[in-house]
């Protein structure tokens, strides 16, 4: 026998351990186990040996081969971990490096407006409530005194969701359905605001977006009057815009309020701007929520939240709020 198998195994062990990377190991692998390797040569000569030797040598060759295979695969796993770490290190992105310290992000101008309004009303003793963006027909329309087929429903370009009966499920067209949910869930007295995202199938232009934000207000208590509504909105105007601003109410129509009004503010230059719809909660709406209009009365209002942001910052295109161009957003 011309190969000392034990010595060969020792050499093999050293060669495997010395392979510095996966490429070097691949070469060692071919040298030790390939067709031209010493082990392969011994094997090919087994046929020439006498049967007793063949049995002993054959078994030992297989043992050595198995052991060399094991060593190689162990070393391969070891090197692979190292290689992965190297790739990770080489491809690492230092995200802290970008404009460090100078250009911290901040809240979006709509979020700032949203939070400012919440702070203001919470300061006046209101709580903040929320409702689902996917609504049922009853909360968005029915309970708000829009009967089925009532033309007032056409004021809203409703996006319906394919769920349940046709037109039974929709993306809420206003935050008013949250009024209903609040009245269903809690007993008066209620002093709540309800900010949120609303949806209409409108084409985007400078004053319309298919997705926008509103903030709803609802007060239900004993003996609430139209004077309370006017006083509250006036207090809001001064607190939000400053003492140079005043407000007025103009008659209007909404199915869920009676009487209904539009709320305008007067800017220091004397011009008027329409900001919200409002009115006294309609007795039918109170009844829909299980409240007796003989005992309870209330007022409600609904602002376009994005509009307030535009107005406050002198922005003239609503679409800017949704483009997420940081050169624009960075100004606020």
> Applying CB under 6 A, does 278 fall inside the site for ligand DAH?
yes
When asked if residue 176 is in the footprint of ligand DAH (CB under 6 A), the reply is yes
User: Among residues 250, 172, 171, which one has the least CA distance to residue 216?
Assistant: 172
Residue 301 Cβ, how far from ligand DAH at the closest point, in Å?
Answer: 5
Judged by CB under 6 A, the number of residues near ligand DAH is 11
Pick between residue 37 and residue 214 the one whose CB is nearest to ligand DAH: 214
Q: Is the peptide bond before 145 cis (omega within 30 degrees of 0)?
A: no
For residues 216 and 63, give the distance between their C-alpha atoms in angstroms, rounded to a whole number: 81
Task: Extract long-range pairs of 286-292: CB within 8 Å, 24+ residues apart.
Answer: 286/183, 286/220, 288/142, 288/143, 288/144, 288/145, 288/180, 289/143, 289/180, 289/183, 289/184, 290/183, 290/184, 291/183, 291/188, 291/220
Closest approach of Cβ 319 to ligand DAH, in Å? 20
- Of 49 and 159, the one with the shorter C-beta distance to ligand DAH is 159
**Residues in 5-24 that interact with ligand DAH by CB under 6 A:** none
Q: Please report whether residue 174 would count as binding ligand DAH according to CB under 6 A.
A: yes
**Torsions phi, psi for 202 (to 5 deg):** -105, 150
Q: Is 116 exposed, middle or buried (0-12, 13-18, 19+ CB in 10 A)?
A: middle
**Taking CB under 6 A as the rule, does residue 302 contact ligand DAH?**
yes
300 binds ligand DAH (CB under 6 A): yes
Instruction: Out of 117, 277, 291, 308, name the contact with ligand DAH by CB under 6 A.
Output: 277
For residues 189 and 205, give the distance between their C-alpha atoms in angstroms, rounded to a whole number: 40
Asked whether position 301 contacts ligand DAH by CB under 6 A, the answer is yes
Measured CA to CA in angstroms, residue 34 lies from 9, 56, 63, 222, 229 at distances of: 15, 22, 16, 94, 91
Site for ligand DAH in 206-245 (CB under 6 A): 216
Question: Which segment (25-33, 188-196, 272-280, 305-313) binds ligand DAH by CB under 6 A?
Answer: 272-280
Between residues 58 and 283, which has the closer beta carbon with respect to ligand DAH?
Answer: 283
Among 158, 232, 237, 257, binds ligand DAH (CB under 6 A): 257
Binding site for ligand DAH (CB under 6 A): 174, 176, 216, 254, 257, 277-279, 300-302
């Amino acid at each position: 026998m011309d190969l000392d198998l034990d010595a060969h195994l020792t050499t093999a062990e050293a060669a495997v351990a010395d392979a510095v990377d996966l490429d070097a190991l691949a070469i060692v692998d071919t040298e030790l186990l390939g067709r031209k390797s010493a082990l392969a040569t011994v094997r090919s000569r087994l046929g020439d040996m006498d049967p007793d030797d063949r049995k002993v040598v054959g078994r030992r060759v297989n043992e050595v081969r198995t052991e060399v295979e094991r060593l190689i695969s162990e070393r391969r796993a070891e090197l692979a971990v190292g290689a992965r770490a190297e790739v990770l290190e080489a491809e690492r992105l230092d995200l802290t490096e970008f404009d460090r310290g100078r250009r911290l992000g901040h809240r979006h101008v709509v979020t700032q407006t949203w939070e400012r309004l919440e702070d203001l009303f919470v300061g006046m003793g209101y709580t903040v409530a929320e409702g689902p963006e996917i609504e049922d027909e009853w909360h968005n329309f029915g309970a708000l005194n829009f009967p089925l087929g009532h033309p007032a429903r056409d004021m809203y370009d409703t996006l319906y969701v394919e769920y349940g009966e046709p037109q039974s499920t929709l993306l809420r067209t206003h935050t008013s359905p949250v009024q209903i949910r609040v009245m269903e869930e809690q007993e008066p007295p209620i002093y709540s605001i309800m900010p949120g995202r609303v949806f209409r199938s409108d084409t985007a232009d400078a004053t319309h977006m298919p997705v926008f934000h509103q903030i709803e207000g609802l007060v239900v208590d004993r003996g609430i009057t139209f004077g309370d509504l006017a006083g509250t909105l006036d207090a809001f105007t001064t607190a939000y815009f400053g003492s140079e601003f005043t407000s007025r109410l103009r008659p209007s129509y909404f199915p869920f309020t009676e009487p209904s009004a539009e709320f305008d503010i007067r800017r220091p230059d004397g011009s008027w701007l329409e900001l919200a719809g409002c009115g006294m909660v309609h007795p039918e709406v109170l009844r829909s929520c299980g409240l007796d209009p003989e005992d309870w009365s209330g007022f409600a209002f609904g602002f376009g939240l994005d509009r307030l942001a535009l107005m406050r910052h002198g922005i003239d295109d609503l679409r800017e709020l949704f483009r997420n161009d940081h050169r624009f957003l960075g100004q606020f």
